Amino acid sequence: MSALHLGVDAGGSLTRAAVVDAAGTVLGRGEAPGANPAGEGAEHAQARLAEAVAAALGPYGPGAVASCLVGLAGLPALADPDAFAARFRTACRLRCPVRLVPDAVPALASGGVDDGCGTVLIAGTGTICVRLDGWRTTARSGGLGWLLGDEGGGFWLGREALRHAHADPGGALGAAVRAHCAADSPEDLLRWAYAGPPRRLAALAPLVSRLAAGGDPAALAVAHAAADHLAALVRATAVPGRPLVLTGSVADSPGPIRDRLRHLLADLAPRAPRTDAAAAAARLGRRLP
């Protein structure tokens, strides 16, 4: 068998891994929960990465992997990235070097950008916009996490939905949120909100999108505000004439948020991903020196 190439896209809510052959054909995929070390710590992130990789490799031995590129959200949170990569390499029994890069690198590559020059908006659970030049970060906006930022992302949408449900529990959005949280009163909503990890608020984001698509005024207001926040991140980062890729479950899912975002950024000719970031990471890893 020819050499295999392994790519990982590790975000705050989901970790995806892909294995490709020398021609770039995907041979295996794997998933695990989020592996952002900024939110869960390095040890937890390593375990999630190894889980996704094991599922992607399936019947293929780790010794056949010739390159491994990991796009990692929260990379700056690592005190010693080299040590993290070494422990991950050992846990997965890989023989090849492991290259850690910000998750913006495979996200940009997923939009068909081959030279590493362009801007990518990642709007999933959290939000960040990054401009790269030759795969190196030259500018960024957002990326402050749920406590200080992430406006327009899944967590923000969930928080806004909860706030609305607390203030107006009888409306369509309030009722949908209360049903999701099994909450019969504003006090029950508060207990639900603070009883678990903050990122679980992102599970409410699809409710906002669904109701906004149906024309609910409250949900539409939240959706439009999210798109406005995301557009502001792009405007602060992107350079006209360079590729702009919009990725993540919020920015690239059909519905009012994506529609308004593309309208607001029409002059920058935004593009959608052409492949998933894990496969893009694997294909990129086989080409980078």
Q: How far apart are CA 246 and CA 112, in angstroms?
A: 12
Strand order of the β-sheet with 136-142 is 136-142, 127-133, 118-123, 244-247
8 Å CB contact between 132 and 105: yes
Residue 186 has pLDDT above 80, yes or no: yes
Q: What digits encode the pLDDT tens for the residues 53-64?
A: 999 998 898 889
Task: Name the percent of the chain lying above pLDDT 90.
Answer: 72
One domain for residues 101 and 161: no
One domain for residues 159 and 262: yes
Q: Given CA atoms 54, 95, 13, 286 in this order, what sign does their dihedral have?
A: negative
- The bridge status of strand 4-10 relative to strand 14-20 is antiparallel
Burial profile 147-183: b = 16 or more Cβ within 10 angstroms, e = fewer: eebbbbbbbbbbbbbbebbbeebebbbbebbbebbeb
pLDDT band at 163 (very low <50, low <70, confident <90, very high): very high
One domain for residues 278 and 258: no
Q: What digits encode the pLDDT tens for the residues 25-44?
A: 999 999 998 888 877 778 88
Q: What pLDDT score was predicted for residue 251?
A: 93
| Other residues' Cβ atoms within 10 Å of the Cβ of residue 43 | 10
Q: What pLDDT score was predicted for residue 227?
A: 98
List of long-range contacts for 209-216, beta carbons under 8 Å, 24+ apart: 209/157, 209/253, 209/255, 209/256, 209/257, 210/176, 210/255, 211/172, 211/173, 211/176, 212/255, 212/256, 212/257, 213/255, 213/256, 216/171, 216/172, 216/173
Phi, psi (degrees; rounded to nearest 5) at 274 = -100, -15
> Per the domain annotation, does 82 fall within a domain?
yes
Q: How far apart are CA 202 and CA 36, in angstroms?
A: 15
Name the β-bridge partners of 118.
Answer: 132
One domain for residues 237 and 278: no
Q: What pLDDT score was predicted for residue 75?
A: 85
Please, what is the average pLDDT of the chain?
92
One domain for residues 222 and 157: yes
DSSP state of 285: H
| Other residues' Cβ atoms within 10 Å of the Cβ of residue 22 | 12
Q: What pLDDT score was predicted for residue 1?
A: 55
CB-count burial class (<10 Å; 0-12, 13-18, 19+) for 227: buried
One domain for residues 248 and 190: yes
One domain for residues 180 and 263: yes
One domain for residues 80 and 163: no
pLDDT band at 144 (very low <50, low <70, confident <90, very high): confident
Most confident segment among 21-35, 45-59, 142-156, 217-231: 217-231
> Per the domain annotation, does 138 fall within a domain?
no
Average pLDDT for residues 162-190, to the nearest whole number? Answer: 92
We report the CATH number of the domain holding residue 221 as 3.30.420.40
Q: What digits encode the pLDDT tens for the residues 249-267?
A: 999 999 999 999 999 999 9
Q: What digits encode the pLDDT tens for the residues 99-136?
A: 999 999 999 999 999 899 999 999 988 899 999 999 99
> Per the domain annotation, does 85 fall within a domain?
yes
Number of domains present in the structure of the chain: 2
One domain for residues 194 and 236: yes
> Per the domain annotation, does 130 fall within a domain?
no
Average pLDDT for residues 155-161, to the nearest whole number? Answer: 96
Average pLDDT for residues 156-177, to the nearest whole number? Answer: 94
Q: How far apart are CA 249 and CA 254, in angstroms?
A: 9
One domain for residues 158 and 68: no
What domain range is 209 assigned to? 145-268
> Per the domain annotation, does 129 fall within a domain?
no
One domain for residues 253 and 278: no
> Per the domain annotation, does 125 fall within a domain?
no
With CA atoms as reference, report the closest residue to 136 among 105, 97, 113: 105
Residue 89 has pLDDT above 70, yes or no: yes
Task: Name the percent of the chain lying above pLDDT 70.
Answer: 99
One domain for residues 83 and 177: no
Q: What pLDDT score was predicted for residue 289?
A: 64
> Per the domain annotation, does 195 fall within a domain?
yes
Residue 91 has pLDDT above 80, yes or no: yes
Residue 211 has pLDDT above 90, yes or no: yes
**3-class secondary-structure state, position 248:** coil
Residue 11 has pLDDT above 60, yes or no: yes
> Per the domain annotation, does 158 fall within a domain?
yes
Name the β-bridge partners of 100.
Answer: 70
